[in-house]
């Protein structure tokens, strides 16, 4: 007999299939009647003679039969590739999109520009928390470097000071060329993301930077998605925002896949909560958490695997109560949904600000939630051991020194790093949580030891110097 008590949200069972089928059908209607706007002439030429597309000036209308065939292929491919070995109790934290330009200063708590010096320290901190499950490179781009070189410098700093760094994000093809070369030196794959601009426009920066790689086959994969904002760039109703998101993801995928059939591609479907007062996405809000959950079920409908959106995203600008409420609530729901990575660790104001202190707090919260996901064990052996222990310990009046307590207490119960579990009568005044986190940050940065091997470091620096000459 064995039972594991693990509370879970059965996302796959909550949403009825008729709703998914209805939304899918309506999205196909949008693609047939409205279409996707495409301005790129090279892309238009590639699909011009395809009988699945109807070109109406700059609008590409797509036959439902073409999309249905592609969706069937995607489902089959995903069915074969979905990993079933994901561990729900795995503890991995990632900054997510490393786009910060600001940092919360460790000494003054002031928000300051993310300079090269501070970025190196932040990257060292990220790497020094590797044993805590933190993965990632430089969390942003240094603002004291010319704009065209910032992302390339970010890539160089990430690879130099963090063993788990990957290619940095990029805004232009010119940047991407050098970042790809750095990824090649490190033996990393290189892909591009294309965002269909809402409403229903396959154009803009992400497409422009991707087309050259698509033309020369210089990328390993392409990811296609969109960011429809309910009430701003999509219908205010969540169902309408998601229908548009489906249309954008499937339409963008159909066009790019048919134009470049030999390049591996995938798509993801999302919708976002938009705040009318401030004009931005509100990550951490109850509405966005609900939308994140629904997107899981929606992507499962298209063959994706079950995963939890373990989001530490927040719109708070400081390490304050708002940040902790938004991070904890959305990440808790994610943990109860399924396996996944804790994303946006250490970030504030979505991804504008990096906070070393918040990163430590996020690590603590991730450990807390990972223990929650593990659940409670109920086994036949434990029943027998418990009966024997009761018989043995009741006469003594305590279980503290029993062999079962000494052997298994630390395995069963989580011990916090910076939280305080004492009550007032046993409390010993000392550093508060913020002060403890600052102390850990400083110690980790000072004791950072990772160094990139000389040969790779020299090659990366040569690539960077070449970029300096070309792009300055």
Domains of the chain in sequence order: 80-374+453-471 (3.20.20.480), 380-446 (no CATH)
Q: What is the pLDDT along the chain (472 residues), one digit of tens a residue?
A: 789 888 888 888 899 999 999 999 999 999 999 999 999 999 999 999 889 999 999 999 999 999 999 999 999 998 877 655 567 677 899 988 899 999 999 999 999 999 999 999 999 999 999 999 999 999 999 999 999 999 999 999 999 999 999 999 999 999 999 999 999 999 999 999 999 999 999 999 999 999 999 999 999 999 999 999 999 999 999 999 999 999 999 999 999 999 999 999 999 999 999 999 999 999 989 999 999 999 999 999 999 887 888 999 999 999 999 999 999 999 999 999 988 999 999 999 999 999 999 999 999 999 999 999 999 999 999 999 999 999 999 999 999 999 999 999 999 999 999 999 999 999 989 999 999 999 999 999 999 999 999 999 999 999 999 999 999 8
Q: What are all long-range contacts of 39-47, with beta carbons under 8 Å and residues at least 24 apart?
A: 39/203, 40/202, 40/203, 40/207, 40/208, 40/211, 42/211, 42/215, 43/202, 43/207, 43/211, 43/255, 43/256, 43/259, 46/258, 46/259, 46/260, 47/255, 47/258, 47/259
Give residue 123's Cα distance to chain centre.
Answer: 18
**With contact defined as beta carbons under 8 Å apart, do 347 and 101 qualify?**
no
Phi, psi of 194 (to 5 degrees): -120, 125
Residue environment code for 271-304, b if the CB has 16+ CB neighbours within 10 A, otherwise e: bbbbeeeeeebbbbbeebbebbbbbbbbbbbbbb
HSE-CB at 76 with a 13 A cutoff on CA atoms is: 6
How much is the pTM? 0.94
């Amino acid at each position: 007999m064995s039972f594991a008590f693990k509370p879970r949200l059965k996302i796959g069972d909550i949403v009825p299939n008729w709703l998914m089928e209805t939304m899918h059908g309506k999205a196909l209607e949008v693609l047939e009647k409205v279409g996707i706007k495409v301005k790129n002439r090279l892309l238009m030429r590639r699909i011009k003679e395809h009988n699945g597309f109807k070109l109406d000036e700059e609008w590409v209308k797509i036959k439902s039969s073409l999309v249905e065939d592609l969706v069937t292929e995607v489902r089959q491919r995903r069915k074969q590739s979905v990993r079933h070995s994901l561990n729900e109790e795995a503890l991995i934290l990632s900054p997510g999109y490393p786009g910060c330009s600001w940092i919360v200063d460790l000494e003054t708590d002031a928000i300051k520009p993310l300079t090269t010096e501070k970025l190196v320290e932040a990257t060292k901190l990220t790497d020094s928390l590797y044993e805590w499950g933190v993965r990632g490179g430089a969390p942003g781009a240094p603002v004291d470097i010319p704009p065209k070189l910032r992302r390339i410098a970010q890539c160089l700093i990430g690879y130099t000071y963090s063993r788990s760094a990957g290619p940095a994000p990029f805004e232009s093809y010119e940047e991407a060329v050098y970042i790809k070369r750095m990824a090649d030196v490190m033996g990393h794959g290189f892909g591009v993301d294309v965002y269909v601009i809402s409403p229903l426009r396959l154009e803009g920066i992400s497409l422009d930077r991707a087309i050259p790689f698509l033309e020369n086959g210089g990328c390993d994969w392409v990811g296609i998605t969109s960011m429809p904002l309910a009430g701003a760039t999509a219908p205010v109703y969540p169902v309408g925002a998601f229908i548009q998101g489906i249309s954008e993801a499937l339409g963008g995928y159909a066009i790019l896949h048919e134009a470049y059939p030999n390049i591996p591609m995938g798509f993801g479907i999302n919708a976002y909560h938009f705040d009318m007062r401030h004009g931005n996405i509100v990550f951490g809000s109850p509405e966005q958490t609900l939308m994140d959950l629904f997107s899981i079920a929606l992507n499962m409908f298209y063959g994706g695997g079950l995963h939890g959106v373990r989001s530490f995203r927040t719109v708070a600008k400081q390490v304050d109560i708002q940040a902790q409420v938004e991070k904890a609530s959305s990440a808790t729901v994610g943990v109860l949904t399924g396996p996944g990575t804790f994303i946006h660790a250490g970030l504030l104001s979505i991804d504008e600000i990096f906070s070393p202190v918040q990163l430590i707090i996020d690590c603590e919260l991730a450990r807390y939630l990972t223990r929650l996901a593990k659940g409670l064990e109920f086994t036949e052996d434990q029943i027998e051991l418990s009966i024997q222990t009761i018989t043995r310990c009741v006469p003594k009046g305590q279980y503290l020194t029993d062999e079962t307590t000494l052997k298994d207490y630390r395995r069963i119960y989580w011990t916090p790093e910076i939280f305080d579990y004492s009550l007032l009568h046993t409390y010993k005044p000392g550093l508060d949580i913020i002060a403890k986190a600052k102390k850990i940050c400083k110690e980790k940065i000072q004791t950072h030891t990772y160094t990139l091997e000389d040969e790779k470091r020299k090659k990366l620096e040569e690539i960077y110097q070449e970029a300096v000459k070309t792009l300055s």
